[in-house]
């Protein structure tokens, strides 16, 4: 009998068809036509790097930190609000990071657009060796009360949110109506889980290609495409890897726009598309990760040399030097400098300005049109003057004191080949401003000494930014801006007071160099409508519209946000560079000193702000609930 059973086991094992192992690479789950793709690559190597971010902060060991916050709470609502703070700390706990390292991969892909022009997006998580990740996915599917099965893909149930259908009998007693199964929605949050894979997306259609490839029913994948392989060889390493097939993406965006009746691409895509050249841009790829304790964001754009690219033409000049940034003072939010090409400078600069104006959605005359009319009207050799501009430095001040209704613009520093070129531009300014403003006759500039420099001014009547323009010249340098003092200071480089103080020249031929403070950029983010300034949250109100959050707590949240932004000032400036390498234009952003305690002031201040925000949501919500129950 034992021999017979053994023989049957062997026979069954031989007779069963071989089942292919699920893909071990998350990139094998997305179809070759995926338009844009991003993934968390190599979680095992990325985990320790993420842990290094919170080293030396309360989030490194949140138990005593959260207990201390509870002990300091003054109200029951504030005490209960520590739950959100604890959940935030939990995501960065050693245990969660340990499970994160066991994941097989996490990726998101734009797999297409539906007939209504809506994007179809899928997020895939290979749970790998993490039992906790699989358990979390199973718990989400099974414990979410309103998550119901609406379809199947390769025998894998697909779920969407559906509220229960309730009927009432003549006595008013509720009863569930489960006679009809929930129906599938065409475009809404959709989820599925099968052991080894959790996938979420915008519809069942978005999940289909991912599930079928995981089940081995479809083999072709984005990983095997030439563009992906080229990008992966350069950028696919521990961190965030991303890739987009630019021509296909833009073509699908145009088709989706026609189907939806409007534009669906983002401002960033529009800017990249028009400045890089819609026909020249072949692919975009890059990586976000850590290097030498700093955060590094790299974006590479593959360009077709046979097609015109305003951005490539502008960034084809000689390597820049750090000294050009010394015209920007330390308080500048951002400063960047670029050397113009040796030949065809005017064409390169005007071409980029025209593309930039189109990308920003500006209507009417383009910069190139203004310059042509200026040349024809005043018989000025504009191109000859512009051809003497050797480099341009753009400076964004942190805050500009402008007239009411005025629109801030950057301060521009023009570096000329010689003083004669700078003088010619200075003489051209009244005519140029009059042409921009639509005035027939140029205004006579006024002059006022500022910081030992004669700063000239022209009225802002009719100008798009609705403010007077100020400009000054010193030797071969011309500065142009909306405030006299910054214009005067920009004429003289000062390494000790520069935004690039302590910055060493990056290695290689850098054709664009910039420096900025991240906190200043965050400060420029507008507060959402209805929210209190500095809080980003709308204080809770009761049914009568009475604000439940005390004004004192609102002020505390505002102060905490200000402290959070100020903490970024303790970081060294972030550095932006651009390099040319064959048919690729590569941008790199480096924020030094973010690991091993470098971010401690920022994280500590950020945690404090988050704590204040959670209190502000409704610090007394539990007391109010208890009071309402008492009334009933």
Q: What is the pLDDT of residue 114?
A: 92
Q: What is the pLDDT of residue 526?
A: 61
Which tokens belong to 21? Answer: 């192992």
Mean pLDDT value of segment 232-236: 96
The residue behind tokens 């593309």 is 355
Tell me if 231 sits within 8 A of 301, measured CB to CB: no
pLDDT of 264 over the 80 cut: no
3-state helix, strand, coil in the chain (%, to 5): 40, 25, 35
pLDDT digits (tens, 9 = 90+) for 450-467: 999 999 999 988 898 999
Q: What is the pLDDT of residue 10?
A: 41
Tell me if 521 sits within 8 A of 333, measured CB to CB: yes
Position 549 confidence tier, pLDDT thresholds 50, 70, 90: low
Mean pLDDT value of segment 231-252: 94
What is the residue-averaged pLDDT of the chain? 85
Beta bridge partners of 357: none
Q: Which residues contact 32 (CB under 8 A, 6 or more apart)?
A: 220, 221, 222, 224, 225
pLDDT digits (tens, 9 = 90+) for 463-491: 989 999 999 999 999 999 999 999 999 99
If one counts every other C-beta atom within 10 angstroms of the C-beta of residue 209, the result is 27
Task: State the pTM of this model.
Answer: 0.85
Mean pLDDT value of segment 592-600: 87
Q: What percent of the chain has pLDDT over 70?
A: 87
| Mean pLDDT lowest among 140-149, 442-451, 520-529, 600-609 | 520-529
More confident position, 346 or 16: 346
Which tokens belong to 218? Answer: 């479809």
Q: What is the pLDDT of residue 538?
A: 58
| Mean pLDDT lowest among 63-72, 259-268, 405-414, 556-565 | 259-268
Tell me if 30 sits within 8 A of 210, measured CB to CB: yes
Q: What is the pLDDT of residue 287?
A: 97
State the helix-helix crossing angle for 345-359 and 367-378, rounded to 10 degrees: 130
pLDDT of 164 over the 60 cut: yes
Nearest to 289 by CA among 620, 516, 590: 590
Residues 222 and 244: their CA atoms lie apart, in Å, by: 11
Position 240 confidence tier, pLDDT thresholds 50, 70, 90: very high
Residues 353 and 416: their CA atoms lie apart, in Å, by: 18
Q: What is the pLDDT of residue 7?
A: 47
Mean pLDDT value of segment 520-531: 63
Position 272 confidence tier, pLDDT thresholds 50, 70, 90: confident
Coil, helix or strand for 131?
helix
Mean pLDDT value of segment 493-501: 87
More confident position, 570 or 492: 492
pLDDT of 269 over the 90 cut: no
The residue behind tokens 């409704």 is 618
Mean pLDDT value of segment 21-38: 93
In terms of average pLDDT, the best of 69-83, 463-477, 514-528 is: 463-477
What does the angle CA 32 – CA 35 – CA 41 come to, to the nearest 5 degrees?
Answer: 75
Q: What is the pLDDT of residue 525?
A: 63
């Amino acid at each position: 009998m034992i021999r017979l059973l053994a023989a049957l086991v062997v026979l069954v094992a031989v007779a069963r068809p071989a089942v292919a192992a699920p893909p071990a690479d998350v990139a094998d789950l997305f179809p070759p036509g995926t338009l844009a793709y991003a993934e968390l690559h190599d979680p095992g190597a990325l985990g320790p790097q993420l842990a290094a971010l919170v080293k030396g902060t309360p989030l490194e060991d949140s138990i005593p930190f959260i207990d201390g916050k509870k002990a300091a709470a003054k109200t029951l609502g504030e005490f209960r609000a520590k739950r959100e703070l604890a959940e935030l700390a939990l995501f960065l706990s050693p245990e969660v990071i340990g499970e994160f390292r066991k994941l097989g991969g996490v990726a998101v892909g734009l797999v297409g657009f539906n007939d209504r022009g809506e994007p179809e997006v899928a997020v895939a998580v290979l749970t790998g060796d993490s039992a906790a990740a699989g358990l979390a996915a199973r718990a989400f599917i099974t414990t979410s009360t309103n998550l119901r099965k609406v379809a199947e893909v390769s025998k894998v149930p697909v779920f969407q949110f559906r509220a229960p259908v309730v009927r009432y009998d003549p006595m008013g007693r509720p009863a569930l109506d489960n006679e009809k199964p929930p129906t599938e929605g065409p475009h809404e949050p959709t989820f599925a889980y099968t052991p080894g894979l959790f996938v979420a997306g915008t519809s069942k259609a978005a999940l289909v290609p991912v599930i079928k490839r995981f089940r081995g029913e479809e083999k072709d994948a984005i990983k095997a495409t030439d563009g992906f392989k080229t990008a992966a060889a350069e950028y696919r390493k521990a961190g965030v890897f991303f890739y987009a097939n630019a021509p296909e993406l833009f073509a699908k965006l145009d088709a989706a726009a026609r189907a939806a009746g409007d534009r669906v691409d983002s401002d960033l895509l529009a800017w990249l598309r028009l400045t890089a050249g819609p026909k020249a841009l072949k692919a975009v790829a890059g990586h976000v990760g850590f290097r030498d304790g700093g955060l590094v964001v790299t974006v590479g754009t593959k360009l077709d040399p046979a097609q015109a690219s305003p951005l490539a033409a502008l960034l084809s000049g000689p390597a820049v030097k750090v000294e050009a940034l010394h015209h920007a003072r330390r308080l500048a939010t951002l400063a960047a400098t670029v050397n113009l090409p040796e030949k065809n400078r005017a064409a390169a600069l005007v071409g980029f300005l025209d593309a930039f104006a189109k990308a920003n959605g500006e209507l009417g005359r383009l910069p190139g049109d203004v310059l042509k009319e200026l040349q024809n009207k005043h018989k000025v050799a504009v191109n000859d003057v512009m051809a003497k501009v050797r480099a341009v430095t753009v400076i964004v001040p942190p805050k500009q004191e402008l007239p009411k209704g005025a629109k801030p613009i950057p301060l521009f520093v023009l570096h000329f080949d010689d003083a004669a070129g700078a003088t010619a531009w200075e003489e051209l300014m009244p005519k140029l401003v009059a042409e921009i403003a639509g005035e027939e006759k140029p205004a006579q500039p006024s002059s006022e000494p500022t910081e030992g420099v004669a700063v000239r001014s022209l009225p802002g009547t009719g100008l798009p930014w609705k403010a007077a323009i100020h400009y000054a010249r010193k030797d071969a340098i011309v500065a142009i801006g909306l405030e006299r003092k910054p214009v005067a200071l920009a004429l003289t480089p000062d390494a000790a007071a520069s935004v690039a103080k302590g910055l060493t020249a990056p290695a290689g031929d850098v054709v664009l160099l910039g420096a900025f403070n991240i906190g200043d950029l965050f400060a420029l983010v507008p507060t959402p409508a209805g929210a209190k300034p500095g809080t980003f949250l709308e204080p809770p109100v009761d049914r009568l519209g009475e604000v439940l959050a005390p004004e004192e707590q609102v002020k505390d949240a505002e102060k905490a946000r200000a402290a959070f932004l100020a903490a970024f000032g303790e970081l060294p400036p972030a550095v932006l560079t651009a390099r040319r390498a064959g048919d690729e234009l590569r941008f790199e952003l480096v924020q030094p000193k973010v690991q091993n305690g470098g971010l401690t002031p920022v994280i500590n201040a950020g945690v404090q702000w988050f704590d204040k925000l959670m209190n502000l949501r409704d610090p007394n919500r539990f007391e109010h609930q208890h009071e309402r129950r008492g009334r009933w």
